[in-house]
Chains A and B, each alone.
Chain A
Amino acid sequence: MNVLYMSAKDLAESKYQRKGKWNTLETKYGTGSTLSFCGKLKSTQETRYGPRFTIEDPDRLTLTVGRFNENVKEDAKEIMNKFKEKKDIHLLLYANPYMKEKRLYMNVNQDNGVIEVSKETYERFHELRETVKEYLLNKKTQAKEKISEDEKTQTKEKISEDEKTQPKEKISDDKIIESIKNRDRGDGVSLKEIPGYLKDPDEMYERIVDIMESGRLYEPKPGLFKVIE
């Protein structure tokens, strides 16, 4: 888990990337799999994927909450109800990026991934975010100047090795779901425990994400999967 403090504005300058088993976002100042946003709740909408929140920080950002996690969906519904009466609500959110058909989505799927915070916390979050961003940007500029030719060739070699992946046998979705169900002792099952994962982590993660999309699995905590029953 690597949390990156973000503003809605940062998204415009960022690139979605699948890195190993993680959906990550590459920003100008770093790469993260969990993106933290903080903003004032502007509007809410009920969708078939779960509540959709639009926040302002002051730029606008829309996130879907609880598509694969009932706990955080419940929290989001409570906030939706509260918002009908109280308009001054600030939220702190932990989202994962997801790209489909060239559109970038922000999904909140971890427990406590949406939390109501005070205006003071909202302000402190953004102060902190600015300081961290400035520090990381400075560091990146300095590091860029240092990259040696050596490292560049090493990277090239690694890429060509990665390209040489071989075709493999396919395990059915049902079998994956069944194995997760069998191995789950309450908290969910980690990727490593799923048969076929060690053979090809990327492929298996893609499969898991597809199964989650189909609504048969969810991720209560980053890296842990449970069957929706």
Chain B
Amino acid sequence: MKLVPGEKISAITRVLEEPEKAEIDDRVLIVAKISNGEKTVNLVAWDTEAAKWNLKKNDIIEIIDGVCPKTHKKTHQPPTIEIIADTTVKKVDMVFPSINECMRKNFLENILDYEYVIAEGFIVQVHSTAAYFCNKCNKFSDRMCECGSFPKPIFKIEGMFSDGTQTLEFTTVSERIAEYLSYHKKTDASNIKPYELMNKAYKIIGYIRNQKLYIEEVLA
């Protein structure tokens, strides 16, 4: 299962988790991670396609003519198959790797760009625990932006992660995941000491874009 942004993709996969529904502006989105036993990707449906969604955790499904979003070529989005009007999704009954088998640990050096990985390792350096986004200038800034304003800190942990086979820059993808990783609340973002993040091993789910690891989930 090799995803190329902008191209169609067909695959037989297992649904690894209960789908999550979200409302973004006026749109409805459903997402669930799926795997063909080797690679994990997000299955995504919007609006009318989301309304038709009838998949649940553990289902084995055949996807015909799903689409890998074209916009993912240049953004740092995770590996994704989108269900569009032309896509067929049907449940199938067959012998297939279990959820546990689909979620096996791998080594970072085996993972290509735009692929998910479950990896285990240490945070070997912490670069920052808070990011600042200036709404006025519409870009990331220092604690004080060039325009003179002080944007509110965003809880975001960045540094280097190593699993012993490769050492990669990493970032957490959401404030929730930064909280999980650090056992700290968002309000502590700027006060976390690097050693508090470096003194234990983590098993994580993340994806790689442009040599950077985006941590989405902490498993243990």
Whether A16 sits at the interface, judged by CB under 8 Å, is no
Tell me which of B44-52, B132-140, B191-199, B208-216 binds A: B191-199
Tell me which of B26-34, B80-88, B163-171 binds A: B163-171
Q: Is the CB of B201 within 8 A of A3?
A: no
* Distance between Cα atoms of A194 and B160 in the complex (Å): 25
Q: Is the CB of B167 within 8 A of A117?
A: no
Contact code string A1-13 (vs B, CB < 8 Å = 1, else 0): 1111100000000
Q: Is the CB of A2 within 8 A of B198?
A: no
* Distance between Cα atoms of A135 and B110 in the complex (Å): 11
* Distance between Cα atoms of A129 and B165 in the complex (Å): 10
Tell me which of B4-12, B13-21, B116-124, B176-184 binds A: B116-124
* Distance between Cα atoms of A15 and B198 in the complex (Å): 28
* Distance between Cα atoms of A118 and B107 in the complex (Å): 25
Q: Is the CB of B164 within 8 A of A92?
A: no
* Distance between Cα atoms of A97 and B107 in the complex (Å): 25
Q: Is the CB of A4 within 8 A of B164?
A: yes
Q: Give chain B residues whose Cβ lies under 8 Å from the Cβ of A5.
A: 164
Whether A36 sits at the interface, judged by CB under 8 Å, is yes
Q: Is the CB of A34 within 8 A of B121?
A: no
Pick the residue among A3, A112, A129 that contacts B195 (CB under 8 A): A112
Q: Give chain B residues whose Cβ lies under 8 Å from the Cβ of A104.
A: none
What is the total number of residues of chain B having a CB less than 8 Å from a CB of chain A? 20
Whether B172 sits at the interface, judged by CB under 8 Å, is no
The verdict on A3 contacting B124 (CB below 8 Å), with A112-B194, A128-B164, A129-B164 known, is yes
Quote the shortest CB–CB distance from A115 to chain B (angstroms). 5
Contact code string A82-121 (vs B, CB < 8 Å = 1, else 0): 0000000000101000000000000000111001111001
Quote the shortest CB–CB distance from B114 to chain A (angstroms). 23
Number of A-B contacts (CB under 8 A): 65
Whether B40 sits at the interface, judged by CB under 8 Å, is no
Whether B74 sits at the interface, judged by CB under 8 Å, is no
The verdict on A124 contacting B201 (CB below 8 Å), with A3-B162, A115-B195, A221-B125 known, is yes
Q: Give chain B residues whose Cβ lies under 8 Å from the Cβ of A136.
A: 164-165
Q: Give chain B residues whose Cβ lies under 8 Å from the Cβ of A132.
A: 107, 163-165
- By beta carbon, the residue of chain A nearest B120 is A128
Q: Is the CB of B194 within 8 A of A111?
A: yes
Whether A125 sits at the interface, judged by CB under 8 Å, is yes
Q: Give chain A residues whose Cβ lies under 8 Å from the Cβ of B121.
A: 128
Q: Give chain B residues whose Cβ lies under 8 Å from the Cβ of A118.
A: 199-200
Q: Is the CB of A121 within 8 A of B200?
A: yes
Q: Is the CB of A115 within 8 A of B107?
A: no
* Distance between Cα atoms of A115 and B197 in the complex (Å): 10
Whether B60 sits at the interface, judged by CB under 8 Å, is no
> Which residues of A pack against B, CB within 8 Å?
1-5, 30, 34, 36, 75, 92, 94, 110-112, 115-118, 121, 124-125, 128-129, 132-133, 135-136, 221
> Which residues of B pack against A, CB within 8 Å?
107, 120-122, 124-126, 160, 162-167, 194-195, 198-201
Sample of 13 more A-B contacts, CB < 8 Å, known A3-B124, A3-B162, A129-B164: A2-B166, A34-B124, A36-B124, A75-B195, A92-B198, A112-B125, A112-B195, A118-B200, A128-B121, A128-B163, A132-B163, A133-B164, A136-B165
